[in-house]
Amino acid sequence: MSVIIDTDPGIDDAIAILYALGNPDLNVVALTTVAGNIGLSVTTQNAGRICALAQVDVPVHAGAAAPLGKEARPETGIHGKEGLGGVAFPDPIYPVASDDAVAAMIQILTEHPPHSVDLFCLGPLTNLAMLLEQAPDTAHRIRRVIAMGGAVDEPGNVGPKSEFNIVHDPHAAAAVFAAGLSLTLIPLDATRQLRANMDYIDALRDADCAASIASADLIAAYFAATNGAESRPLHDPCVPLFAKHSNMFRIEPRDLDVDIATGALVAGPHRIDVAMGLDADRLRAALLSGLSY
């Protein structure tokens, strides 16, 4: 399957991207970047750095520098001002592509057969919302969207019921929910079940590969402000892991919408497949294996 990864790297984004780039079944044809965890210039530079570390040549296209109709609100407290937890990554090998994220999405979706390209959304949904606005028919050539975001029964991580990716751009999320795309949402209800401990970090280092060692360093940086026994949740890696191992997730149909004022998911008219649980042990094993390259 061909894949576009839309991302705001970001510590957990980086692990997700390294996993996807190393997986022969996931033909990553482009990275499109968005402002989110940090500003657009940093997320875009980081996307290039991640490809350089993986030694995989994937074009990087810069996208939206701010959410629809509001100011960007970076989360440097978690990801650091350079966005990768202070972990050293190489400089990008190739310059950022000249065409922006939406133009690249349009070109890729037009050139590929209908419903042959998946879109992995690891950050705010601004770029996808802009694609829907500018080229709705082209957007509906996407086979499926797998997006990390939201909180259904879980408390939020930004507000009582607000999760970062959705609340960063609620207008975009509402547009995506309403578009009638094949959408699987992976909210905090599932991602909070996938964490790493120090033994897992050791196992990544023992795998002794560039991607596994970098991921060990990224997860170690992700321990900050936790009880020290486990990392913060491995939110974004759940997206490519679902693409490869959907049987390790519990999916429930939910009728949802987005509360624009709070960014919370609320009951609404849009039927969406939602991951409400996962098999953490099997997914950690799959992630370790997929990063050993």
Residues identified as active-site: 235
Largest CA distance in the chain: 48
Query: Between the CA of residue 173 and those of 161, 201, 257, 282, what are the distances in Å?
Result: 15, 34, 9, 30
CB of 155 to Ca ion, least distance (A): 19
Query: How far apart are alpha carbons 230 and 10 in whole angstroms?
Result: 19
- The stretch among 9-17, 197-205, 207-215, 283-291 that binds ligand RIB (CB under 6 A) is 9-17
Half-sphere exposure of 14 (CA within 13 A, CB side): 37
169 binds ligand RIB (CB under 6 A): no
Nearer to Ca ion, 10 or 80 (CB): 10
Q: Which DSSP helix (H) or strand (E) runs through 185?
A: strand 183-186
- 127 makes contact, choosing from ligand RIB, Ca ion, none, with CB < 5 to 8 Å by partner type, with none
> Following DSSP, what letter does each residue of 35-86 receive, concatenated?
SSSS-HHHHHHHHHHHHHHHT----EEE--SS-TTS-----HHHH-TTSSTT
Residues from 118 through 147 that contact ligand RIB (CB under 6 A):
122-123
Nearer to ligand RIB, 87 or 141 (CB): 87
| Contact map string, positions 26 to 65, toward Ca ion, x by CB under 5 A | ----------------------------------------
238 binds Ca ion (CB under 5 A): no
- Residues touching ligand RIB: how many (CB under 6 A)? 15
Nearer to ligand RIB, 79 or 141 (CB): 79
123 binds Ca ion (CB under 5 A): yes
> Which residues partner with 5 through β-bridges?
31, 120
13 binds Ca ion (CB under 5 A): yes
Closest of 123, 127, 99, 125 to residue 111, by C-alpha: 99
> Following DSSP, what letter does each residue of 115-148 receive, concatenated?
T-EEEEE-S-SHHHHHHHHH-HHHHTTEEEEEEE
Nearer to Ca ion, 64 or 141 (CB): 64
122 binds Ca ion (CB under 5 A): yes
In the complex, the residues that contact ligand RIB under the rule CB under 6 A are 8, 10, 12-13, 36-37, 122-123, 148, 157, 163-165, 235-236
